[in-house]
Amino acid sequence: PPISRASPGSGALNPFDRRLKRKQKNWAALQAEPGKCDYLREEVGGRIADRVFDITRTFPLALDVGSGRGYIAQHLTKETVEKLIQVDIAENALKNAVESEIPTVRVVADEEFLPFKEDTFDLVVSSLRLHIAKPCPVCALQIHQVLKPDGVFIGAMFGGDTLYELRCSLQLAELEREGGFSPHVSPFTAVADLGHLLSRAGFNTLTVDTDEIQVNYPGLFEVMEDLQGKYILSENISMGESNCSWNRKPLLHRETMLAAAAIYQEMYGNSDGSVPATFQIYYMIGWKYHESQAKPAQRGSATVSFRDLAKIEDLLKRGKK
pLDDT tens for each residue of 257-281: 899 999 999 999 999 999 999 999 9
- The verdict on residue 74 lying in a domain is yes
- The verdict on residue 207 lying in a domain is yes
CA distance 316 to 309: 11
209 vs 25, higher pLDDT: 209
Domain of residue 157, residue span: 18-163+187-216+277-290
**Average pLDDT in the 221-240 region?**
53
CA distance 156 to 128: 5
- The verdict on residue 210 lying in a domain is yes
Q: What is the dihedral of CA 171, 130, 227, 110, to 10 degrees?
A: -120
- The verdict on residue 271 lying in a domain is no
Q: Is 159 helix (H, G, I), strand (E, B) or coil?
A: strand
pLDDT for residue 239 is more than 50: no
- The verdict on residue 151 lying in a domain is yes
pLDDT digits (tens, 9 = 90+) for 164-184: 999 899 989 988 888 776 666
* CATH number for the domain harbouring residue 159: 3.40.50.150
Sign of CA dihedral 118, 121, 124, 129: negative
- The verdict on residue 182 lying in a domain is no
Sign of CA dihedral 46, 216, 226, 241: positive
Angle made by CA atoms 186, 17, 7, in degrees to the nearest 5: 100
Instruction: Report the 10 Å Cβ neighbour count for 53.
Output: 13
- The verdict on residue 311 lying in a domain is no
CA distance 278 to 23: 26
Question: Could you tell me the pLDDT band of residue 246, with boundaries at 50, 70 and 90?
Answer: very low
Q: Is 297 helix (H, G, I), strand (E, B) or coil?
A: coil
- The verdict on residue 29 lying in a domain is yes
**Average pLDDT in the 96-121 region?**
89
CA distance 153 to 84: 14
Q: Own/partner pairs for 194-200, CB < 8 Å, 24+ apart?
A: 194/157, 194/282, 194/284, 197/137, 197/140, 198/137, 198/140, 198/284, 198/286, 200/137, 200/140
Number of domains in the chain: 1
